[in-house]
Structure 1
Amino acid sequence: MSSALMNGQAGWSSWPAPAKLNLFLHIVGQRADGYHLLQTAFQLLDWGDSIRLRVRADGEISRATELPGVSLQSDLCLRAAKLLQEHAATPLGADIAVEKRIPMGGGLGGGSSDAASVLVGLNLLWQTGLDIDTLAALGLRLGADVPVFVRGHSAWAEGIGEELTAITLPEQVYVILDPQVCVPTAELFRAPELTRNTPRGTIRGLVSGELVANSFAPVVRARFAAVDAAMHWLDRFGESRLSGSGGCVFAAVSNIEAANAIAQQCPPEFVVHVARGINVSPLLKMAHEFSVAG
């Protein structure tokens, strides 16, 4: 195994789980089964969680780190490992440790990205040999955002978020504010005031800067004062936007120096992150490195 993958502890390997931003998000309709149809653009970031994996011979799937507020039954990493184990019919198991940086309930895709990194990493470690399409299909069973992290490219998305077209986005610098509130996505989808018939946009509209609105933003701002305050503060430096269903908000800035200067002024009630948009996930690069190293 490549030394770049090893973290100095016997048997463990480390896999990146990048965060994402939704540069815009339109809810454009609703399916007969109740699922909402949307359009969005996923921008991957050069910042996120880290997943450590260690293969077990006894077939057990074990969580090596506690995640406050996340039960064993709802842990997406454990569910991803078990789903892959069952699909591939492998006798192997794994210990899974998560170094958490992405805030939970922040709309930055932390749980989905973690699950994707487990799928990609264990597919290689267990030598199950599944292709990227199969892994993405397994990921979709865990959540609509998981496939974009499995495929590892910034993307235009439609359907319930699973119809992905890889796109190349300007690698801008972003200031991200975490108002430290966990926004429940299911509650937002049920909100009677949520607009469910936003006109469809185009990739050309995204590139031209016309598409920046998030259908969830009015609902979240009305229900969560801290998110509204974060957006008001960030509007002083650029056009603030909500990522996903919130509650983290972000603004694009001209360069890293400007981003750091804004971050230094951040009020104490918010947690601030500075990150750069990337088009290819570090997970994809790590998987390639692993495959080449054999």
Structure 2
Amino acid sequence: MGAGRRPSGRCLHTGGIVMKVSYREALKMALREALSNDPRVFLMGEDVGRYGGCYAVSKGLIDEFGEERIRDTPLSESGFVGAGIGAALGGMRPIVEVMTVNFSLLCLDQIVNTAATLRHMSGGQFSVPLVVRMTTGAGRQLAAQHSHSLENYYAHVPGIRVVAPATLEDARGMLATALENPDPVIMFEHNALYNMEGELDETAGAVDIDRAAIRRSGEQVSLITFGGNLQKTLAAAEQLSTEGISAEVVDLRTLRPLDDDTIMASVRKTHRAVIISEEWRSGSLAAEVGMRIAEQAFYDLDAPLARVCSAE
């Protein structure tokens, strides 16, 4: 898709005009809208400008908005995330792209010890309205140092909000809501989703970043997941249906804070739960969700909790 052009493939449905877009294009639409609507918004990160981003999400935006708004940075995650924090403190609305979650370990100090804590250390006098986008998960030809799933690292930290858009609507809409948040938001984009295509309403806009979503209704087991595992979990639920098992699929969407109400309502309905996460098993979000179910809905369970995670 060229700079300034809408995605191709517009068609008219009874629900209105929809566009055939990829997850990547939905993210670009969100970036373009944010940059167009608010002069305080800018994007910075490694290769986000002339190269168009490692995953081509920002391709063409530098031609539309210029080098002041689309800023290429040195290969120093700690440096440019720190610069983003400073800009946020100064009244800007920075969007910082970290190429992969693996490299975010180099700026973990900036996020945990500065961005997440300044509001509390200042007695509420300062806020850090910063959005950090980072790619997560295993993918093609990315090797060990580009393929981790460390969402649990950030979901562990008070003072930040963590989201994981798994659908085109959330890829399009979560960024706008995150930019209105007065505190830091970490946005995880699974690399296996960038090429995912589907239909998106032309008027799609901001969505909430507070609640989980039921992506498939079921009666016999709750399959709880997020991000890049949603489509696989939906496929598994479809396979289970051919075997006579009715599975409900819960998309967490927001990993911090977790939406306990939606999770527990599903478990109390189905009386069984399996948590699916690409993270390593030990200390994973799957472990956290499972423990919350044990604490809040233990007597509603008809079978032991289970989880599906990556091998360690």
Q: Structure 1 length as normaliser, TM-score?
A: 0.29
User: Quick one: higher RCO (CA 8 Å, sep 6+), 1 or 2?
Assistant: 1
Q: Structure 2 length as normaliser, TM-score?
A: 0.28
